């Protein structure tokens, strides 16, 4: 598979009054052409910040400290702001978690779509842009697009708003889409529809997808490969299917165990402890305070990513000795 | 809105009539008056009736735009008219200027927080709303009228001569200082508010999403962040106009600016009750109109508020 | 790993977490406040003025409203070593007047705010807890008092009552008036907070588990209300001082007690020849109000911080 996006050694820190928050502390991440990859972790794991770093829109007081982000052969971190703007929304797009807040409440849905369309296709007239916007609304499966195009976000349901957000992201035909928790704020019944839509559009537009989520169920359904993040660092990477069957990191195992299943009778196991402090993270392996298998070495040495199998990497000192249970 | 008007009018009416027998005060200007005249006056002004009855008579008059007769003899309504314009001549341009200058300054501050420019602007604004408006007027009079002699210090128009050559120039010269003072003081509030609001909106999700879509910084800041930041400002602008109007007595007296505020102070000193009540009513009506306009503008900007 | 049942998760841990969070909130806020230079400056200025106000009877060379310099042949003098702020033509030592005025103006500013807060708390709480008619009526009354053109009515009331009431009461009267017209802001905040807290999920859970109203008020409503009230009250003091100065300046204040506005008024008549009589009391007002504003802003930022770069 050809590489589309390759992140190496990314470090993004937030310089706050309370201290330096190491939100992303050395992450490698690859996405191939026409590939769907999951970026998984609890809140605070650094998955959203990684996405924002690619776009270089990390909000203050955040700053990308080091690393490289190679997209279509060029390092995004060396590009000028003007060049980045031509990439954002056009080559790489993003949808956000809460559709209510990611749309401007003061403008019609059509306005906001047309705005993005016109930004990347300056030659279009306002009318043409609106036409295209209407077609986009239709494409994301919203009925009566001609009426909807003149409505305001607050007049739409959560599911519809998220579809609009997707439409906006796809307006200029990007080759890579970051979907940040697209269904977390939606009703359960609508979640499936939106996921279907994303899958559908991805196929149609031959687009790569980065699925940012904490929900392993969504990962199972939507991704071919998955990367597990913990406290700003990579815990495990691998093909979805094999990662689910045989996880090679205790954190992944714990995530899988936390998914409620109807078919298997087991207790709902909660991961004990709290998300670590990112200003003063635990020494050695950041997961060790919550890990049921932790040994002395885990406190002392930071584990590096090791190849455990074909295309399968784990950052755990003990992966050889542990036989972890999958989903 | 109507209950507010009623409430204010009741309060004003009650308080002013608490001074005692209005006729006794009126009589001070008329030295020897026969008892029959007093009695008939009393009946005419319904002064033999209890307070609440008198209130309704008064309210009835008001609704017919009859504001009564001042202690000096002339009808209140005749005199108030020109005063309203004089006050507005000062208040409205000041408000407009404050908005036009304040908002860009606030936006600039919010986009470069804690920079040298921001500190300067914030400090400038801080002094503005910490100082008594009339005192700033006094300071300006001292500097520009007394020491430099560049500008007149009293009135709305020249009496002894025409400043700056023409009648128009004369009025402008008189207007300049009070206008600057009022503008500065209101501007201070707006700058602070816009800066605060924009610091918030610039961190909102739709701003981040807009950036992620590749929209230009100008579009993001002005079309999205600012427009969202402004909606609460509309209310504040209305309130600022209200409090500026209510504070008119101080500033107008300092500059001997013959508007409603100045005349209110004069009337209150001499306990000219119909005049006092009349001016208060007019000011209240102006405030209510301002509130109405504020609500309308708010509806225009924020589609969530519009009815239907 | 034990299985934590849903009943255990809800109330007990939440409450403990809340308590720890609340206790920490104050500590964190205080730390944040200490880092805010402007807020600290404001605090320092306010304390300075409070100190002056308290010590003014001993600190100032002349008693208040004393025209003694006239007899000393030193009236109408510009600032000098003996009279750092100069003297007025009528014989006042401006430096003393400013010092005495501090007490007068702080008295009114703080006192009026206290009254406004007390009334506002009462009205706001009732409006927040009752539903239907009572709440609506109270809201309407608040609206009326809020929309009233403040200065004209206060001037009028001051004028009327000063005729009726003995002279020494002047400042207290102004204080009461300002408080009586200033409570709606507090009432709105109190009502808003109560309504908001009522709807919070863990409160509803609390009540489902039998927590009484009193406990909820004590544990949850009051801490949430305290912070916006403290901030608003501080800023209110600033506003009240400003209003008081205008009132005295226009001649509607107490003629026998020194206030900054009163001194400025004396200076107005002779503004051509004695700028110092208007400048110094005004500067005092400016810095006092500035201090309270900075303090209020600092407190507000400490409690609801906006991220620094």
What domains lie within chain C, and their CATH numbers?
87-303 (1.10.3720.10)
Q: Residues C233-244: pLDDT tens digits?
A: 999 999 999 989
- Residue B214 and residue A116: Cβ atoms within 8 Å? yes
Do residue B303 and residue A106 have CB atoms under 8 angstroms apart? yes
Instruction: Give the residue from chain C lying closest to A290, CA to CA.
Output: C1
CA distance C199 to C201: 6
pLDDT at B308 over 60: no
Nearest 5°: phi and psi at A179? -110, 105
What was the pLDDT predicted at C309? Answer: 30
Range of the domain at A152: 96-173
DSSP H/E element including C110: helix C94-129
Residue of C nearest to B149 (CA): C272
User: What are the strands, taking DSSP E only, across A163-255?
Assistant: 176-180, 208-213, 225-230, 233-239
Structure tokens at A304: 């590096």
> How much is the average pLDDT of A273-298?
85
Any C CB within 8 A of A188 CB? no
How far is the C-alpha of C166 from the C-alpha of C160, rounded, in Å?
12
Residue given tokens 């503004």 in the structure block: C271
Quick count: other Cβ atoms within 10 Å of Cβ C132?
7
User: Which pLDDT band, with edges at 50, 70 and 90, does C115 fall under?
Assistant: very high
State how far the Cα of A78 lies from the Cα of A81, in Å rounded to an integer: 10
| CA-based nearest distance C180→chain B, Å | 13
Stronger pLDDT, B22 or A131, i.e. the higher one: A131
Cβ-based burial of C106 (10 A; exposed 0-12, middle 13-18, buried ≥19): buried
Per-residue pLDDT at C7 exceeds 50: no
What is the reported pLDDT for C51?
92
For residue B78, what are its two tokens? 């005749």
Q: How many CB atoms are closer than 10 A to CB B84?
A: 16
Indicate whether A289 belongs to any domain.
no
A181 belongs to a structural domain: no
- pLDDT value for B289: 85
What is the rounded average pLDDT of the residues A93-106?
91
When comparing pLDDT for B139 and B15, which is higher? B139
The answer to whether residue A132 is domain-embedded is: yes
Q: How many structural domains does chain A have?
A: 1
pLDDT digits (tens, 9 = 90+) for A203-229: 888 899 999 998 888 898 899 999 999
Kindly state whether residue A255 falls inside one of the protein's structural domains.
Answer: no
For residue C305, the model assigns a pLDDT of 57
The answer to whether residue C284 scores a pLDDT higher than 80 is yes
Contacts of B216 in chain A (CB under 8 A): 85, 119
Q: Can you tell me the distance from the alpha carbon of A142 to that of A145, in angstroms, rounded to the nearest whole number? A: 6
Residues above pLDDT 90, as percent of chain B: 18
Residue A106 belongs to some domain of the structure? yes
Q: What is the structure's pLDDT at C9? A: 39
Range in A183-197, B8-22, C192-206, C252-266 the model is least confident about: B8-22
Please state, in angstroms and as integers, the Cα–Cα distance from residue A256 to each residue in A238, A315, B14, following that order: 14, 17, 75
Q: Are A165 and A178 in contact (CB under 8 A)?
A: no
pLDDT tens-digit readout, B38-60:
677 666 666 666 767 777 776 77
> For residue C212, what pLDDT is reported?
64
Taking only the tens place, the pLDDT of each residue in B229-251 is 888 888 888 888 888 888 888 89
Cβ of B19 within 8 Å of Cβ of C144? The answer is: no
- Report if residue A153 sits inside a domain: yes
CA distance B160 to B223: 52
The pLDDT-based confidence of B72 (bands split at 50, 70, 90) is low
Query: pLDDT tier at C24 (50, 70, 90 boundaries)?
Result: low
Distance CA C219, CA C21 (A): 12
Task: Tell me the whole-structure pTM to 2 decimals.
Answer: 0.80
d(CA A135, CA A127): 13
The minimum CA-CA distance between A274 and chain C, rounded to whole Å, is 13
Least confident of B135-144, B267-276, B287-296: B267-276
Is residue A306's pLDDT more than 80? Answer: yes
Predicted complex ipTM: 0.86
Mean pLDDT value across chain B: 81
Residue B305, pLDDT above cutoff 80: no
Helix-helix angle C37-59:C14-35, to 10 degrees: 70
Q: Do A292 and C1 touch (CB under 8 A)?
A: yes
Residue A209, in any domain of the structure? no
**Three-state secondary-structure class, residue A15:** strand
Q: Is the pLDDT of residue B176 over 60?
A: yes
């Amino acid at each position: 598979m050809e590489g589309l996006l390759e992140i190496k050694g990314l470090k993004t820190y937030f310089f706050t009054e309370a201290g330096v928050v190491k939100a992303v502390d050395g992450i490698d991440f690859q996405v191939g052409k026409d590939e769907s990859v999951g970026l998984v972790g609890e809140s605070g794991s650094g998955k959203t910040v990684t996405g924002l770093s690619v776009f270089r829109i990390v909000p203050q007081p955040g700053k990308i400290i080091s690393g490289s982000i190679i997209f279509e052969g060029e390092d995004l971190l060396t590009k000028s702001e003007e060049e980045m703007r031509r990439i954002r929304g056009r080559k790489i797009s993003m949808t956000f978690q809460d559709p209510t807040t990611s749309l401007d409440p003061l403008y019609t849905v059509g306005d906001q779509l047309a705005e993005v369309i016109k930004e990347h296709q300056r030659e279009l007239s306002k009318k043409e842009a609106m036409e295209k916007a209407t077609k986009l609304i239709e494409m994301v499966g919203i009925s009566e697009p001609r009426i909807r195009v003149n409505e305001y976000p607050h007049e739409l349901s959560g599911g519809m708003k998220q579809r609009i957000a997707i439409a906006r992201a796809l307006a200029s035909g990007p080759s890579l889409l970051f979907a940040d928790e697209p269904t977390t704020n939606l009703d359960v019944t609508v979640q499936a529809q939106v996921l279907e839509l994303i899958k559908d559009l991805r196929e149609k537009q031959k687009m790569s997808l980065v699925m940012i989520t904490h929900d392993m169920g969504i990962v199972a359904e939507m991704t071919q490969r998955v990367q597990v993040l913990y406290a700003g660092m990579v815990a495990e990477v691998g093909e979805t299917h094999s990662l689910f069957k045989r996880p090679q990191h205790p954190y992944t195992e714990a995530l899988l165990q936390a998914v409620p299943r109807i078919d298997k009778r087991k207790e709902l196991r909660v991961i004990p402890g709290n998300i670590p402090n990112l200003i003063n993270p635990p020494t050695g392996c950041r997961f060790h305070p919550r890990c049921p298998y932790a040994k002395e070495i885990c406190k002392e040495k930071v584990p590096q990513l090791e190849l455990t199998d074909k295309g399968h990497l784990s950052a755990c000192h003990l992966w050889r000795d542990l036989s972890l249970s999958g989903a | 809105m109507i209950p507010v008007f009623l409430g204010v009018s009741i309060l004003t009416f009650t308080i002013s009539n608490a001074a005692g027998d209005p006729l006794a005060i009126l009589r001070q200007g008329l030295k020897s008056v026969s008892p029959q005249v007093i009695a008939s006056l009393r009946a005419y002004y319904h002064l033999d009736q209890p307070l609440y009855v008198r209130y309704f008579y008064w309210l009835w008059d008001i609704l017919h735009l009859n504001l009564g007769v001042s202690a000096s003899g002339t009808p209140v309504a005749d005199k108030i008219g020109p005063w309203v314009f004089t006050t507005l001549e000062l208040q409205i341009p000041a408000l407009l200027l404050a908005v036009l200058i304040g908002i860009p300054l606030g936006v600039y501050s919010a986009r470069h927080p804690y920079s040298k420019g921001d500190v300067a602007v914030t400090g400038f604004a801080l002094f503005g709303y910490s100082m008594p408006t009339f005192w700033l007027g006094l300071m300006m009079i001292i500097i520009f009228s007394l020491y430099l002699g560049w500008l007149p210090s009293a009135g709305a128009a020249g009496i002894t001569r025409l400043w700056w050559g023409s009648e128009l120039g004369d009025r402008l010269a008189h207007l300049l200082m009070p206008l600057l003072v009022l503008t500065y003081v209101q501007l201070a509030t707006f700058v602070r508010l816009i800066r605060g609001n924009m610091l918030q909106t610039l961190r909102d999700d739709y701003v981040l999403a807009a950036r992620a879509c590749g929209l230009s910084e100008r579009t993001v800041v002005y079309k999205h962040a600012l427009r969202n930041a402004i909606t609460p400002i509309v209310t504040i602008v209305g309130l600022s106009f209200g409090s500026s109007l209510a504070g008119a007595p101080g500033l107008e007296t300092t500059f001997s600016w013959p508007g409603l505020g100045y005349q209110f102070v004069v009337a209150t000193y001499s306990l000219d009750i119909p005049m006092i009540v009349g001016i208060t009513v007019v000011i209240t009506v102006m405030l209510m109109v301002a509130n109405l306009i504020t609500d309308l503008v708010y509806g225009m900007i924020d589609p969530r508020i519009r009815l239907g | 790993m034990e299985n934590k049942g849903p009943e255990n998760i809800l109330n007990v841990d939440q409450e403990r977490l809340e308590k720890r969070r609340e206790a920490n909130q104050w500590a964190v806020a205080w730390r944040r406040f200490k880092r805010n230079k402007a807020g600290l400056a404001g605090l320092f200025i306010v304390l300075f003025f409070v100190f002056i106000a308290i010590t003014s009877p001993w600190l100032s060379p002349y008693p208040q409203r004393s025209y003694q310099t006239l007899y000393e042949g030193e009236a109408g003098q510009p600032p000098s070593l003996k009279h750092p702020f100069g003297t007025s033509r009528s014989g006042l030592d401006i430096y003393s007047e400013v010092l005495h005025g501090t007490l007068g103006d702080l008295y009114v500013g703080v006192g009026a705010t206290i009254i406004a807060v007390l009334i506002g708390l009462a009205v706001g709480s009732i409006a927040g807890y009752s539903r239907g008619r009572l709440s609506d009526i109270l809201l309407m009354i608040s609206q009326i008092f809020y929309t009233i053109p403040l200065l004209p009515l206060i001037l009028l009331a001051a004028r009327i009552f000063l005729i009726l009431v003995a002279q020494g009461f002047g400042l207290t009267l102004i204080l009461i008036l300002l408080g009586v017209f200033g409570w709606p802001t507090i009432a709105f905040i109190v009502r808003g907070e109560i309504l908001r807290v009522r709807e919070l999920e863990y409160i509803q859970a609390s009540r489902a588990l039998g927590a009484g109203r009193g406990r909820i008020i004590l544990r949850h409503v009051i801490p949430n209300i305290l912070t916006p009230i403290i901030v608003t009250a501080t800023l209110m003091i600033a506003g009240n001082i400003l209003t008081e100065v205008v009132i005295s300046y226009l001649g509607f204040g107490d003629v026998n007690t020194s206030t900054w506005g009163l001194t400025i008024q004396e200076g107005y008549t002779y503004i051509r020849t004695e700028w110092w009589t208007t400048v110094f009391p005004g500067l005092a007002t400016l810095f006092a109000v500035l201090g309270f504003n900075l303090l209020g802003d600092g407190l507000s930022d400490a409690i609801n911080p906006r991220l620094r770069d």
